[in-house]
Amino acid sequence: MKLFKLFKINNELINTKETDKNELGKLFFKKLFEPLIEIQNRSLRFCIFLFNKQILNISKLRLESIKRTFVYSFILFKLKILSKFRKIRVGFLVSEEAKWTNQNLYNEFKCDKHFEPFILLTYFSRPQGEYSPEEFYKKTRDFFKQQGIKIYNTYDVIKKAHKNLNKYRADIIFYQQPWMIANIQKPNTVFNKSLLCYVPYCFYSMNSYINYLAKFHGIMWKYFVETDLHKTEYKTLYGANNCCVSGSTKLDNFQYLDKEKSESHWKTKDKKRIIYAPHHSFVDNFHEVATFLENGNFILNLAKSHPETEWIIRPHPLFVDRIIRNSIMTEDEINEYFEEWKKIGRISKSENYYEMFLSSDLLITDCISFLTEYALTLKPVIHLRKNKQKDEFNSIVKKLDTGYYQVYSNEELEKIFNSLIKDNNDFLKEKREKNIDILNTSTPASKKIYEYIKKELKIK
């Protein structure tokens, strides 16, 4: 039967027009060798059959991983040699000033004669609060210029086009975030030229580890994770073998803060200083922790009724957008709400909130990341929670939360507030002091990452 088909195709070749002979020729040779070997390139797998028996069936993701491992090994070998003759160029791809958590890591490289760090400034297309994308881009650029940091603009404002990162000859690139990256700057377009790294811009606190993205985290040369728990979960769920435990560079901030500058955020010294930080997740596919609908006005009135306190409201950067988008308030209503806060305190948007943390006395929040970030102050937290809220936090945050005052109603909130502010009764303080060891911040994460890369490059 096979031979009959081959003779039939061969006869058709002889009697066919020249334009169609190529296609029939391919078909002839395919049929000729089909009994021996067959290769199937499927959407997710690559298979080879010999004499109709499968001899290889491998995931395409696995093949890509093997390829990346080989490429990264070659780049690393090359950089070990080059580091003896020139500086290693370290680029930080940044689109948002608010998510710039690698200043201390940048400083580590800057102080080492073997490295040349710089910012690769890219364009963030989504509007940010009251700023248009263009204004936001300029604002972020000015932020780095004021600090005297070397910047490469990887977005052509005139042509409105992103530039390929390879042109900046970075030996190592640190990505700022896994999403909203221009196609020409995505990891899979640059990994063959540079060692790619990712340091999370916030401490991942949820018990679901679906944020490990194969097309981002999996492509990284090294993913510097917060704790052993994170590394174990990514290994168990995704077979991740590129994770290194470093801690969070964001938590390093407390070790480098200027205490005098921290005081400048407050007007008074003799009043209790309170930060109110509402979250934005009213409707979310993964978590809905925002409680503003239940307690936003109550907390404003609580602040008004306690003149012995000073307040700063620090909403999440997406807070106003989500308030309006979810029809919780109109734009005029949320602006009026903030005007009321201005009469008794102030609103903080983009300044260094770690400085405010350091000099505050109490945090009232439903914000996820602040549960970890504020922990290092050892000061009390009133954790605003929903009555039907799922237990979504990982074991680290759950332990930290045992040292916080979890409230589910405005009655509980007022009771705990009065206990802390009026009676100075912080009965969970000792538990917070014991819990803090779980974050393992004895050595700054920035230093660990810097030392790790030096070791990999054999730089002494």
Do 64-252+442-456 and 258-439 fold alike per CATH?
yes
How far is 159 from 164, CA to CA, in rounded Å? 14
Q: Is the pTM of this model over 0.85?
A: no
The mean pLDDT value for 409-413 works out to 97
Q: Please report the pLDDT score of residue 9 as a whole number.
A: 45
* Maximal C-alpha separation, the chain: 101
Residue 3 has pLDDT above 50, yes or no: no
What is the domain partition of the chain in residue ranges?
2-59, 64-252+442-456, 258-439
Q: Copy the structure tokens of residue 349.
A: 């948007």
Q: For 241, left (φ over 0), alpha (ψ -120 to 50), or beta?
A: alpha
Q: Please report the pLDDT score of residue 287 as a whole number.
A: 74
Q: Copy the structure tokens of residue 221.
A: 């040369």
- CATH architecture for segment(s) 258-439: 3-Layer(aba) Sandwich (3.40)
- Angle at Cα 29 formed by Cα 25 and Cα 30, nearest 5°? 110
The mean pLDDT value for 69-93 works out to 96
- Angle at Cα 346 formed by Cα 345 and Cα 352, nearest 5°? 130
Q: Taking the mean position of all CA atoms in its chain, how far away is CA 341?
A: 31
Residue 404 has pLDDT above 60, yes or no: yes
Q: How sure is the predictor about 58, in pLDDT bands with cuts at 50, 70 and 90?
A: low
How many of the other CB atoms lie within 10 Å of CB of 276?
23
Q: Copy the structure tokens of residue 169.
A: 């000859």
Q: Please report the pLDDT score of residue 73 as a whole number.
A: 96
64-252+442-456: what CATH class? alpha beta
